[in-house]
Amino acid sequence: MEVEKVDFLSVHSQDIERSRRFYLETLGLPLDTDRGERGFEVWAGQLCLSIWNPAAAGMELGSSPAHVALHADDVEAARAELEARGVQFEGEIFDTGVCHMAFFRDPDGNALMLHKRYAPRD
């Protein structure tokens, strides 16, 4: 098997309308496909996020602990903008020595972060 690319990342939501407001209005991601109450898809740069409620299909609902790293040219400014829109961050901006990261969650508890690499890895 040869994998050419990742088509989308599935994001669970128990409240599609709340998630739609968060991803479209709060984060400002562009809508790709709207499936009404079944869910929707948005673009985060090159990555398509498919937000849906697996419980509606008889599957287990759960939040993802694996962070989706959203690139921001200025993590501090992007964080301030999202905080002004009501997003709560987990701790201060983390500096690894090669990148800045600011951790937060969507309304369903899925892990997200703002990320900016500013130096090459050693």
* pLDDT tens track for 55-65: 988 999 999 99
Predicted TM-score (pTM) of this structure: 0.93
User: Per the domain annotation, does 78 fall within a domain?
Assistant: yes
User: Per the domain annotation, does 22 fall within a domain?
Assistant: yes
Domain enclosing residue 55, as ranges:
9-117
Mention every residue, 6+ apart, whose C-beta is less than 8 A from residue 97: 119
At 56 the pLDDT is 87
User: Per the domain annotation, does 1 fall within a domain?
Assistant: no
User: Per the domain annotation, does 4 fall within a domain?
Assistant: no
User: Per the domain annotation, does 25 fall within a domain?
Assistant: yes
How many domains are there within the chain? 1
DSSP state string for the chain: --------EEEE-S-HHHHHIIIIIIS-PPEEEE-GGGEEEEEETTEEEEEE-GGGGT-------SPEEEE-SSHHHHHHHHHHTTPPBSSS-EE-SSEEEEEEE-TT--EEEEEEE-S---
User: For residue 77, is pLDDT > 90?
Assistant: yes
User: Per the domain annotation, does 54 fall within a domain?
Assistant: yes
Write the pLDDT tens digit of every residue in 25-69: 999 999 999 999 999 999 999 999 999 999 988 999 999 999 999
User: Per the domain annotation, does 2 fall within a domain?
Assistant: no
CATH number of the domain bearing residue 67: 3.10.180.10
User: Per the domain annotation, does 41 fall within a domain?
Assistant: yes
